[in-house]
A and B are shown apart, each in its own frame.
Chain A
Amino acid sequence: MNNDFSKPQRQSAAGIVIMAAHTTVSIGRAFIFFIIYAFVKIQSAYLIYVLLSLAIIILGSFLFAYLWYIKFTFFLDKEKQEFVVNKGIFNRDQVIIQLDKIQQVNINQSILQKIIGVYGLKIDTAGAHGEEVSIKAIDETSAYNLKAHLLHKKVADENQPETGTEAQIVEETPFLKISSWTLFKVGLTSNYGQSLALLAAFFYTVIYEGRQLLDTFKIDKNVIESTVTGMLTIVTAFILIGLLLVVLLVINMVRTFYKYFELQISQHKDALLLSSGLIAKKNTLVNPAKVQITKYSQNYFQKKLNMLNVSLKQAHFGESKKGHEMQGNTMEIPGCNPTERDELLRMILSKLPETNTTFIPNWRFLNLPIFFKLVLPVIIFLVVALNVPEVKPFIAAAAIYLLAGIVMIYISYKKHRISVSDEFIVKKSGIWDISYEIITPAKIQAITTFQYPWHKGLDVGHLCLHTAAGQIHFKYGNYTEIKQLANYWLYQVEHKNESWM
């Protein structure tokens, strides 16, 4: 086998076996119940057919694998610095990856690959599919050779992965430290939603398991249910709700302390080092250039306590379907005061974003949410309430819901803003937690603008900025302005050729 991969070549022939096994297993998995059923239930006379069809499946897999093997070729185009893969049995697909866009090359071995003595090689780029190219069978020397070739340019980069480096950290005086007292305040004021979800999940399992227990021990459910409902007077209900709130706060507190205990940030070469954690200390190196979206948020309580949550979002490439390869990470720094936030922003964006022009959405922003979240549910509720006498007493709840909903949607409309200056784009949004997302135009990967036909005459349209760490939407803006902005950002991205990572 040649070592420079300049000519189109197939994988190791063992790939046929691997692919066939892979196909058989996936077909088998899809029909597993059917197969088991067939073996258990069918009379022995028909067993031969079952075995025959199994044989056909396996044979078919091998045929498929063979064709796949014949059609799958790859080579390295030295001149263009590209890695080219041709594949597809019926379709003819060509995947071209530029070498410097490759983020990761993983070499691994499954059990079957181990038995046959080949390796699998996966190439990650910053595209959306976790792995664009996966070569299923390649011998060891070729695998490492290929990896070396693919990453040739990037050897220097490889030695400083952006996250999770723990070794040889020079102790420098941290410029930001979050004290326990601040953490206490953070625990009191943020992340209710997550804690509530946790609590709900906990209660659900407790009740579910409790039911199971009752069933197994044949305890009369009615007795327990009647005592429980008997206890539920209004006073106890209030006590219960109070208790629940306390539990919620305690959970919140524990979680905050567990994650962010002794959080400190120091500057380390050209990266920021974040370390935190109560039991297991987690160190994370963040390269400011790799932060895609910088976000800070604050709710009413936090505003009174003069603190903010800052989060740094990095590119989430390698988002494989199995989820365990998630490289995308959001660094949270809770409980900064405004000066610390400014210092952080200056660290990451090299200067503070000044807001120049602010764009506000059209009032039609309110239409859809009011209709789908308020009017429609309320109408359905009223129809139900008027027909079912048990629900009738709660009709007043609809009014409360409507009022609260209108206020919330109106707030979200009022807070939906995008401010643009030459160097920054700041998107403000939120109802309770008001957040500001900051990006520089260089972080834009693609721009989408869209408009509904009935908004054409009104000149109302929407904007979506795609970045490597998520999207930024601005809805119901003036479409002429949006198009102008898009042209301006395109100019900025294309003219400067600034790198985004």
Chain B
Amino acid sequence: MPTETFTNEVIDISSLPKYEEIALQHPHSDYWKIISINLSIFLSIIGIGAAILLIFIKEISAHMLVIISIYLVLAAILFLLYRASFKKRGYAIRTHDVIYKSGIIAESTTIIPLNRIQHIELNEGILSRAFHLGSLQLFTAGGQTGHIHISGIPIEEAKSIRDLLLKKLDLNDNQTVDPEA
């Protein structure tokens, strides 16, 4: 333990910065296009499969209307759910932590303190590259659930966030002068 000038004043918990009141940044609006394209690809694959079945299997073609309406309802629900989740996503970088909010039904907020980040990954998919977007992944030692995956950040911003975080990580590490070293 460092025996430097050590103060231990009482903390007023209610005056601590509140993570829930931070204005969050939302994914870029182009990211919705990517989600839509991905969904459309997924739906058209299923649609083609269903169409083939409808055309070639006589017994099923009788229920054509039911199947088509189920398909349409499913597609609409999927789009609505993704739209809802897209609307809810948000992130913020504070001096000491990263906040990410997401969720389709339940709203969940995950906060990772910067000094707990293990490593950072910046990914660009084919589609994302076309829209100049990227996704950042922050890994902690807290297992699968302790990760943050922020998608749909403009690539320049994503890169600068990455650099910023990496710089902060370095600073943190220099501050913790390992007592055993």
Interchain CB contact under 8 A, A127 and B125: no
Interchain CB contact under 8 A, B143 and A97: no
A452 CA to B121 CA, complexed, in Å: 30
Which of B44-52, B57-65, B100-108 faces chain A?
B100-108
Q: Mark B1-26, 1 if CB is under 8 A from A, else 0.
A: 00000000001011011111000000
A466 within 8 A of B: yes
Interchain CB contact under 8 A, A128 and B139: yes
The one of A91, A446, A471, A490 in contact with B126, judged by C-beta atoms closer than 8 angstroms, is: A91
Q: Which residues of A contact B13 (CB under 8 A)?
A: 484, 487-488
A41 within 8 A of B: no
Which of B35-43, B75-83, B172-180 faces chain A?
B172-180
A211 CA to B14 CA, complexed, in Å: 68
Interchain CB contact under 8 A, B124 and A91: yes
Q: How large is the interface on A (under 10, 10 to 19, 20 to 34, 35 or more residues)?
A: 35 or more
B69 within 8 A of A: no
The main secondary structure of chain B at its interface with chain A is mixed
Q: Mark A84-113, 1 if CB is under 8 A from B, else 0.
A: 000000111111111011000000000000
Q: Which residues of B contact A180 (CB under 8 A)?
A: none
Closest chain-B Cβ to A466's Cβ sits at a distance in Å of 3
Interchain CB contact under 8 A, B122 and A127: no
Q: Which residues of A contact B147 (CB under 8 A)?
A: 128, 446
Closest chain-B Cβ to A252's Cβ sits at a distance in Å of 31
The main secondary structure of chain A at its interface with chain B is mixed
Interchain CB contact under 8 A, A97 and B116: no
Interchain CB contact under 8 A, A446 and B111: yes
Interchain CB contact under 8 A, A450 and B121: no
B112 within 8 A of A: yes
A249 within 8 A of B: no
**Contact A491-B126, Cβ < 8 Å, known A446-B142, A468-B142:** no
Interchain CB contact under 8 A, A450 and B176: no
- Chain B residues 163 to 181 lying within 8 A of chain A, measured CB to CB, are 166, 169-170, 172-173, 175-176, 178, 180-181
Q: Which residues of B contact A447 (CB under 8 A)?
A: 110-111
A82 CA to B124 CA, complexed, in Å: 21
Known: A132-B139, A500-B141. 18 other contacts (CB 8 A): A90-B125, A91-B126, A126-B118, A128-B144, A128-B147, A317-B141, A446-B111, A446-B140, A446-B147, A446-B148, A447-B111, A448-B111, A450-B103, A450-B109, A486-B19, A487-B17, A490-B96, A497-B172
List 12 interface pairs A-B (beta carbons < 8 Å), by A numbering.
A127-B118, A127-B141, A450-B106, A452-B106, A453-B107, A466-B142, A466-B145, A484-B13, A487-B18, A490-B97, A490-B111, A495-B96
Which 3 A-B pairs give the minimum distances between C-beta atoms?
A466-B142, A445-B142, A450-B108
- Chain B interface (Cβ < 8 Å from any Cβ of A): 11, 13-14, 16-20, 96-97, 103, 105-116, 118-126, 129, 139-148, 162, 166, 169-170, 172-173, 175-176, 178, 180-181
